[in-house]
Amino acid sequence: MNKKNTIWCGSQEHSVGRRQFMGSVMAGMGAAAGASLFTHPLGASAIAQKGKSVVVIFLAGGISQFESWDPKSDFDTGGPFKAIPTTVPGIHVSELLPYTAKQMHHMALVRSINSGLDDHGLAVNLVRSGRTTRSATEYPELGAVVAKGLERDGFPLPGHIHTMPSGIGGRSNNASYLGPQYSSVAIGAQEGGVVNSKLPDGMTVTVDSRRHNWRRFANDRHRRVKQSAEMDAYTQSYEKAIQLMERRDVFDVSREPQSVQDGYGKSDFAKQLLLARRLVEQEIPFVEIKHEGWDFHHNNFEFHTHYVGDFDRPFAHFIADLAERGLLERTLVVVMTEFGRTPKINPGYGRDHYPDAWSIAMAGCGIHHGAVYGKTDDKGIKIVDGQVDHRHLFHTYLRAVGIDSSAEFEIAGRSFPIADPAVGPIKELLT
C-alpha cells in the first residue's frame, strides 16, 4: 500500500478506530437485516432528538472523488493534483481542498460507494431517496423524510427547505406518500426572505390581529358542529403563517452583521451557506443547498480547480462557524453528489460518469469525527473494503440525527418503511 494513501496513522487510538470502522461489510449488513425484522412504527418516543438538523450540500453533476475526497496522486488515474494532509493524521484529501482539510476533525468520509447507475437523472433519484428506484416520485427524498421524522408540534417554520441564490420557488414534488406538506419549499438567500411574509401594503398590525380574531371566532363557531384533523391542520396553517411572519428575519441574510457576511464570502454559494446556518439556528430540520455544474467530461482538472475552489473556503468556514456556535453538535452536514468520475482520463482531459467507486463527506452530529469508511484500490478503480451504496448512506444520515431508520411511517393506515428495509446504516460510522 502506498504510504500517501494510508488512512490510519497506526497509532493506538486509530488502530482501535480502524478495527471498528473496517469491520466486514457482510457483518454490518447482516446486523442491519436482523434489525429490520423487528420494524415498528415511528412513534413519538422514537423521535428522540429534538432540534436536530440536516444540511445537504448537493454537488450536482458528479464531483470527482480523485480531485476531492479520495486522491490517488501517485498513480496515472490520480490526475495532476497532490494529496495533502488534514487535521486528522493519516487522512489526506486533494490539495484543492486546503481549507476543508483544516476541518477534517469535524468530518467523516465514505470512500466505498458503488451505486450502479451512471445516468444523472436516475442516479439523483437513488441518492436522494435512498432506494433503488427509477421513479423520482415513488419514494420521498431525504429532506421530506427528515422533515417528517424530526417534526415537532407547533413548529412554525417549514421543515424542508431548498435554498436558492435568490427569488422564491414553489413547492416541489419530492415528498411522495408523505404528502405535499413535507415537500421542499424553495427560499432565496436574498434580502426580504419568504414571499408573502409581509403584511399587505397599508395594513397595520392592529388590523391584522383583529381580522384574525374574527377568523378565529368563525372557526370556533364551526368547530362546535364539525371537527376533523384536516380542519385543524387548516386552522393551524394560519397560526404557523403568523409565527413565520414574526420570524421572517430568519430568512433574511442581510440581517447578519457585515463582518459575518464578509467571513462567508460574496459568492451565491457562500450566501446560501450563511442562510443555512441561520435556518439551522432556528432548528429547521432540513436544508439543502445545490451547487451545480459538476459534470466535467472535458477539462476536468481546470474546472475542478475553479469549482472546488469556490466550494472549499465557504464550506470550511461554514463548518467552523457551526462548530464555534455549538450548532455542529446537533447538525449533520452531508456533501452529496450523484456519482463519481472515471479513473480513466479521456482524451479531452475529462472524466466521465463513474458509479462504481466514489465518495461522500459528512460533518457534525451522530458520526465519528475524523473517520474514513471504506477503501478503493490504489488506482481508485475498485472498492476493496466496505462497499456500500446509496441505501446504506440514507440509513446512516437518518440515524445520525436520531431517526430510527428501521421504523415505518404510518400514513393513512398504510405502513411505509422509512428507509430500504433490506439494508441498514454504516454502523461503524455512527456514534
Positions that interact with another protein (CB under 8 A): 134-135, 137-138, 156-158, 170-173, 176, 179-181, 183, 185, 194-201, 207-208, 210-212, 214-215, 217-219, 221-228, 230-231, 233-238, 240-242, 244-245
Q: With respect to another protein, which residue has the nearer C-beta, 236 or 431?
A: 236
Q: How far is the CB of 167 from another protein (least distance, A)?
A: 14
Are the C-beta atoms of 30 and 20 separated by less than 8 Å? Answer: no
Q: Give the residue ranges of DSSP H helices in 205-362.
A: 205-225, 229-246, 258-264, 268-281, 300-324
What's the first-to-final CA gap in the chain, in angstroms? Answer: 29
**Alpha-carbon distances, residue 255 vs 81, 190, 265, 365 (angstroms):** 39, 10, 15, 27
* Gap between the Cα atoms of 54 and 147, Å rounded: 9
Q: How far is the CB of 218 from another protein (least distance, A)?
A: 4
Q: How far is the CB of 173 from another protein (least distance, A)?
A: 3
Q: How far is the CB of 30 from another protein (least distance, A)?
A: 20
Q: With respect to another protein, which residue has the nearer C-beta, 227 or 346?
A: 227
Q: How far is the CB of 115 from another protein (least distance, A)?
A: 17
Q: How far is the CB of 219 from another protein (least distance, A)?
A: 5
Phi then psi dihedrals of residue 168, to 5 deg: -140, 130
Q: With respect to another protein, which residue has the nearer C-beta, 201 or 324?
A: 201
Q: With respect to another protein, which residue has the nearer C-beta, 49 or 235?
A: 235
Q: How far is the CB of 166 from another protein (least distance, A)?
A: 18
How crowded is the C-beta side of 171, counted as CA atoms within 13 Å?
12
Q: How far is the CB of 139 from another protein (least distance, A)?
A: 11
Q: With respect to another protein, which residue has the nearer C-beta, 153 or 324?
A: 153
Q: With respect to another protein, which residue has the nearer C-beta, 76 or 217?
A: 217
Residues 6+ away with beta carbon under 8 Å from 118 = 339, 353, 354, 355
Q: How far is the CB of 252 from another protein (least distance, A)?
A: 15
Find cell 452530529 and name the residue.
365
Task: Give the type of residue at 118.
Answer: D
Q: With respect to another protein, which residue has the nearer C-beta, 105 or 223?
A: 223
Coil/strand/helix, residue 17: helix
* Gap between the Cα atoms of 273 and 312, Å rounded: 12
* Gap between the Cα atoms of 260 and 402, Å rounded: 31
Coil/strand/helix, residue 80: coil
Q: With respect to another protein, which residue has the nearer C-beta, 50 or 214?
A: 214
DSSP label at residue 58: E
Residue of 103, 204, 366 lying closest to 93 (CA atoms): 103
Which grid coordinates are listed for 354? 463513474
Beta-carbon neighbour count of residue 153 at 10 Å? Answer: 6
Residue of 192, 193, 190, 174 lying closest to 182 (CA atoms): 174
* Gap between the Cα atoms of 230 and 55, Å rounded: 30
Q: With respect to another protein, which residue has the nearer C-beta, 47 or 244?
A: 244
